[in-house]
A = this chain, B = another copy of it.
Amino acid sequence: MSTPRNEPARTGGVREHNLALVLRQVAQGSRTATPPSRADIAAATGLTRATVSSLVDVLVGAGLVEELAPVARTRAGRPATGLALRADAVSGVGLEVNVDYLAVCVVDLTGAVRHRRVVDGDQRTRTPATALRRVARLGARAIAGERATGRAVAGVTIALPGLVQAPHGPLRLAPNLGWRDVDVVGLLTREPTLAGLPVTIDNEADLAALAELYAGGAGGSTSFVHVSGEVGIGAGIVLDGRLYRGRHGWSGEIGHVAVRPDGPACRCGAGGCLEQYAGQEAILRAAGVPADAATSMGGSSAVDRIAGLARAGHPEVRAALAGAGAALGLVVAGAVNLLDVDTVVLGGIYAPLAEWIGPAVAAEVDRRVLGAPWAPVEVRASSVGPDAAVLGAARSVVQGVLDDPASWLTAA
């Protein structure tokens, strides 16, 4: 698909583009009640029926698409044969290492979750090698399971909280894990099952944003900032339907944008960073809730407790959340003034707290965003859930196949 700007275009590139175009139509349509036919796709894309037929043949031959059994026909004329993504051919695997858990997730081509597992445990006490060995084993077991059912695994993507040189480069810095310059892909592929697969690495917040995009979250917007509140705060920036990773893959480090020039010192060496006002620890501190409870995605956590207290009307907690929201809103407003996105998604711990944080964010955004009077900025909670990052990791793998079926064909 889409030939790089500085490379010559060939007629083969046309076919790659159109193959992806047709597959995208099938993917969009297979979620709806009426699966698209070849003729529908021809009408929707502008290609002729002849071309669509030829392309669909290729996709069916590759096992990515299947013809559905004919359904109740209404109109005159030869009945259409519906097309849909095959759910039993290709899977994608996502992994995640975070401060206090490991996670694995498997999705099929349609995006349906086939397998999900979270293992709680503080990873800060482990070496990178140990943590990555463990998560690689989780992945290997999941892959074996997929293969046992006859599915091919298209690849593995791991989500990490920190500066990551996507998609292969090392992890430069993960302050909250205490990692620095770790060759993540090298360590993961010590596990033999992973060694033969394309393994990529990406930032946790970026993948959470992708999960939101793929799920049609963000109210269907294709230009949004997804803010993930965790121990740290990261943002995934989606512009015109594509994740913007930045020059080195380090975009979205919103947690270290300044709220006050002379604010409290931050782990990063500077001071007044957003993390000090709206990070998980800052919120707990301001709310007067002890931070001892595990913050895992699994059991009841400190965040749940905060949400409970806020729901019960606890004034100190509500004030803490409003304060965090104001700081977050200040920074988010700055981001929107710079990027002109139409939507801001609150993810991570902000999602369950959105009822109290959201209004403060929205108020600050409305007040500070220059374009708001003409195009209001929507502030909404994530629709994906707390495991957005692993899910996005797994989805990004199958999305790679959907975006470029041609190279999957030649690879497989």
Contacts and interface: CB of A to CB of B under 8 A. Distances in A.
Interface of A: 2-3, 5-11, 13-14, 17-18, 21, 24, 45-47, 51, 163, 172-173, 223, 235, 237, 239, 241, 244-254, 256-261, 268-270, 273, 326-327, 330-331, 333-335, 337-342, 367-368, 370-371, 374-375
A371 B253 contact: yes
Given A11-B11, A247-B340, A261 B370 contact: no
A260 B261 contact: yes
Nearest to A273: B368
A27 to B, nearest CB: 13
Contacts of A247: 223, 340-342, 375
18 contacts: A2-B5, A5-B21, A6-B24, A9-B13, A9-B14, A10-B14, A172-B371, A172-B374, A235-B338, A246-B340, A250-B340, A250-B371, A251-B338, A258-B333, A260-B261, A269-B367, A273-B368, A338-B339
A258 B330 contact: yes
A397 B87 CA distance: 48
Nearest to A51: B8
Contacts of A342: 247-248
A285 B312 CA distance: 50
A199 to B, nearest CB: 22
A251 B237 CA distance: 14
Nearest to A252: B338
A21 B10 CA distance: 12
A18 B14 contact: no
Contacts of A269: 367
Given A3-B17, A46-B8, A330-B261, A246 B341 contact: yes
Nearest to A19: B9
A368 B256 contact: yes
A7 B25 CA distance: 11
Contacts of A14: 9-11, 13-14
B46 A7 contact: yes
Nearest to A2: B2
B163 A371 contact: yes
B374 A249 contact: no
Contacts of A8: 17-18, 21, 45-47, 51
A337 B256 contact: yes
Contact of A18 (B9, B235, B246, B333): B9
A367 B13 CA distance: 45
Of A2, A237, A339, most buried by chain B (CB within 10 Å of CB) is A339
Nearest to A222: B247
A370 B268 contact: yes
Contacts of A5: 2, 21, 241
A251 B368 CA distance: 14
